[in-house]
Amino acid sequence: MHHAANLQLQLLGYADRAGNEAGNLALSQRRAEAVREVLVSAGIPADAVSARGMGESASVDCGSEPTREARLACMAPDRRVEIVAQGEI
């Protein structure tokens, strides 16, 4: 496996607007940390991967959906982790 000494990965976890803001921030942090654990267990050096919860800061507005189920389905893309890579491979 080729190791990239200069590569840094930043994992940004997000949550949808369901629930309260503090809970969503904690959930988004756990989501990013879960992805970090997978990457580290796959051989990425732990000091090259950081995890940060972003809460509901980039969620879509699904307020016009008629039912709770439709709103939750609309917000599905908000429940994600983005990987930002910096450095050289």
Of the two residues 18 and 70, the one the predictor is more confident about is 70
How much is the pLDDT for 17? Answer: 85
Element (H, E) at 12: strand 8-13
Q: Which tens digits make up the pLDDT trace of 9-19? A: 999 999 988 88
Question: What single string gives the DSSP state of each residue in 71-88?
Answer: HHHHTGGGS-EEEEEES-
CA distance 60 to 58: 7
* Homologous superfamily of 8-86: OmpA-like domain (3.30.1330.60)
CA distances 65 to 19, 20, 48, 62, 88, Å, are 17, 19, 41, 6, 44
How much is the pLDDT for 4? Answer: 55
